[in-house]
Amino acid sequence: MSERTLNTVLVIGAHPDDPEFGCAATVAKWASQGRTIDYVLLTSGDKGSHDPSKHPGEVAAQREEEQRAAAQELGVRSVLFLHYPDGLLENTIELRRRLCELIRTLRPDILITIDPWRPYQLHPDHRAAGQAALDAAWAAREWYIFPEQLIDRDPWAVKEIYLFWTDNPDHWEDVSESMDRRIKALQRHSSQVGNRIEAVAKRIRQAAEETGRPLGYRYAEAFKRIVLH
């Protein structure tokens, strides 16, 4: 770890369960080390049901509750939902403005989000979420972008960015100690994993084992890490 203090972490995902499927063992590890972690989910995953009788509003409420419970397992401080429509997320200037304002308010040292440049990533929300988060982090540093936000606060420069679901990892977190908490958190997303939890847990553990093997870690999570100066 660098000599810089990196105590605050913001995780931006498209849907409830993205962090648990992408980076939650790292989140649990960092929270137990005393880092403050906040989650922002851009949608509430309201289309995440194959049951046509379920109203999207019902699904959203359930998924928000599941996400809060999962975050609690991991030691996350707060969870905020921005309620953009699931499946239709776009990296608009309006979304970028909201995320920029959040970054300038929360002042995270580290941003964790989805790698928007992963080739053949078909889910438009995952591409849009990663792109909007990165564009907002860029904007937050600059005096001349969204200056109306700077009347009562300063620009804020995120120091490091960690991208998960990446095909170009260059940083690996040893999560041998916190993998169980990631699985427990995943279990909280019962509308998504439900009775498949054992198969999902097995797959997640296997992937983390493979990621960790070359490094001699029992389990690892991989990231593309960007250090900003």
**Structure tokens of 153?**
């606060």
* Binding footprint of Zn ion, residue count (CB under 5 A): 3
Shortest gap between Cβ of 196 and Zn ion (angstroms)? 16
Q: Which is nearer to Zn ion, 18 or 160 (CB)?
A: 18
Q: Which of 18, 20, 66, 160 binds Zn ion (CB under 5 A)?
A: 18
Binding part of the chain for Zn ion, among 12-20, 48-56, 76-84, 127-135 by CB under 5 A, reads 12-20
**Residue located via tokens 């397992």:** 73
Which region, judged by CB under 5 A, interacts with Zn ion, from 10-18, 32-40, 59-67, 141-149? 10-18
Is residue 66 a contact residue for Zn ion (CB under 5 A)?
no
Tokens of 2: 């660098």
140 or 200: whose CB is closer to Zn ion?
A: 200
**Of 6-14, 99-107, 158-166, 167-175, which part binds Zn ion (CB under 5 A)?**
6-14
Residue 15 engages Zn ion in binding (rule: CB under 5 A)? yes
Q: Which residues contact 183 (CB under 8 A, 6 or more apart)?
A: 201, 204, 205
Separation between Cα atoms, residue 41 and residue 202, nearest integer Å: 26
Give the strand pairing for 78-84 and 110-114: unpaired
Phi first, then psi: give them for residue 34, nearest 5 degrees: 100, 5
Q: Residue 116: exposed, middle, or buried by beta-carbon count in 10 A (0-12, 13-18, 19+)?
A: buried
Residues at the contact surface with Zn ion, assessed by CB under 5 A? 14-15, 18
